[in-house]
Amino acid sequence: MVVTAYSVTQQIEALIVLANPSYVIQGWHGALFTIAITLFCIFFNTFLIRKLPLMEGIALALHALGFFTFIIVLWVMGPRGSAKQVFTDFEDNNGWGSVGLATLVGLLSPITTLIGADSVCHLSEELRDASYTLPWCMITTASINYVLGFIMTITFMFTVGDVESALRTTTGQPYVQVILNATQSRDATIVLTATMALLLLFCAINQVTTSSRQLFAFARDNGLPYSAFLSYVSHSVSGTPI
């Protein structure tokens, strides 16, 4: 969950750089931001949990609309690489010494992308008819999300332009630089990056929900120190483990 909080942090830092180009990203700024966002997510899950279905609705709309916004902006305004070049361009920019090894190290990135979809199983005790609905939900989610991710990967790789300059961006995020190059508009880039930050914030909130259920279940089976304390379910505040 902190990974996602850190991603939100990166987006916010990119936003600051966009709005104020003289700002230089510092490590400790990121750490403090990450802690603040994690605390916010925990607060949200403790006291505003009853608003969760509403927030899910908003976030789902953003998730779909944001996807098309990014796709359309990149398709219409971005530069277009040739298919042969994009599909066969393997690079080793970090000096691993071998392109094959570098590509395999790059495996980490799609794994981070695709790993989230199974976490939903921790909510199974709050789901109606869980043993039937949940497997369907996991498969549907996987199918939809994998396709979305693939389209986005392809789109980005075709429109990235010069890889070197995208990586050397001051915002710290290559995609922000690519969108900035494509739209040539600071304001549009700020809006799109803010959408991204908001979506990742929702993702972080959901992850806190998930991992709290997981901690609760493990404590219920006496797997942790202070299990009795951790598996206590507060009925007066939210009806959820805190």
Interaction with another protein in 98-137: which residues (CB under 8 A)?
Answer: 99, 102-137
Binding segment for another protein (CB under 8 A), chosen from 16-24, 39-47, 154-162, 181-189, is 154-162
Shortest distance, CB of residue 200 to another protein, whole angstroms?
Answer: 6
Shortest distance, CB of residue 185 to another protein, whole angstroms?
Answer: 18
Using CB under 8 A as the binding rule, whether residue 53 contacts another protein is answered as yes
Using CB under 8 A as the binding rule, whether residue 1 contacts another protein is answered as yes
Using CB under 8 A as the binding rule, whether residue 46 contacts another protein is answered as no
Query: In 3-state terms, what secondary structure has residue 141?
Result: helix
Interactions with another protein, residue window 62-101 (CB under 8 A): 63, 66-67, 70, 81, 86-97, 99
Using CB under 8 A as the binding rule, whether residue 44 contacts another protein is answered as no
C-alpha pair distances (Å), 64 with each of 15, 138, 144: 22, 18, 11
Using CB under 8 A as the binding rule, whether residue 220 contacts another protein is answered as yes
Q: Select from 36, 42, 145, 227 the one that contacts another protein (CB under 8 A).
A: 145
Using CB under 8 A as the binding rule, whether residue 156 contacts another protein is answered as yes
Query: In 3-state terms, what secondary structure has residue 241?
Result: strand
Whole-angstrom distance, CA of residue 104 vs CA of residue 94: 13
Using CB under 8 A as the binding rule, whether residue 23 contacts another protein is answered as no
- The values of phi and psi at residue 240, to 5°, are -130, 155
Toward another protein, which CB reaches closer, 109 or 184?
109
Binding segment for another protein (CB under 8 A), chosen from 15-23, 40-48, 161-169, 182-190, is 161-169
Structure token digits, residue 78: 């971005």
- The values of phi and psi at residue 166, to 5°, are -65, -35
Using CB under 8 A as the binding rule, whether residue 40 contacts another protein is answered as no
Q: What SS3 string covers 187-237?
A: HHHHHHHHHHHHHHHHHHHHHHHHHHHHHHHHHHCCCCCCHHHHCCEECCC
Rounded-to-10 torsion of CA 214, 139, 154, 14: -30
Shortest distance, CB of residue 187 to another protein, whole angstroms?
Answer: 19
Using CB under 8 A as the binding rule, whether residue 16 contacts another protein is answered as no
Shortest distance, CB of residue 34 to another protein, whole angstroms?
Answer: 7
Interactions with another protein, residue window 165-194 (CB under 8 A): 166-168, 172-175
Structure token digits, residue 115: 């790993």
Shortest distance, CB of residue 20 to another protein, whole angstroms?
Answer: 18
Q: Could you tell me how far CA 90 lies from the centroid of its own chain?
A: 25
Whole-angstrom distance, CA of residue 209 vs CA of residue 52: 10
Using CB under 8 A as the binding rule, whether residue 34 contacts another protein is answered as yes
Is 105:185 a contact under the CB 8 Å cutoff?
Answer: no
Say which amino acid occupies 88: T
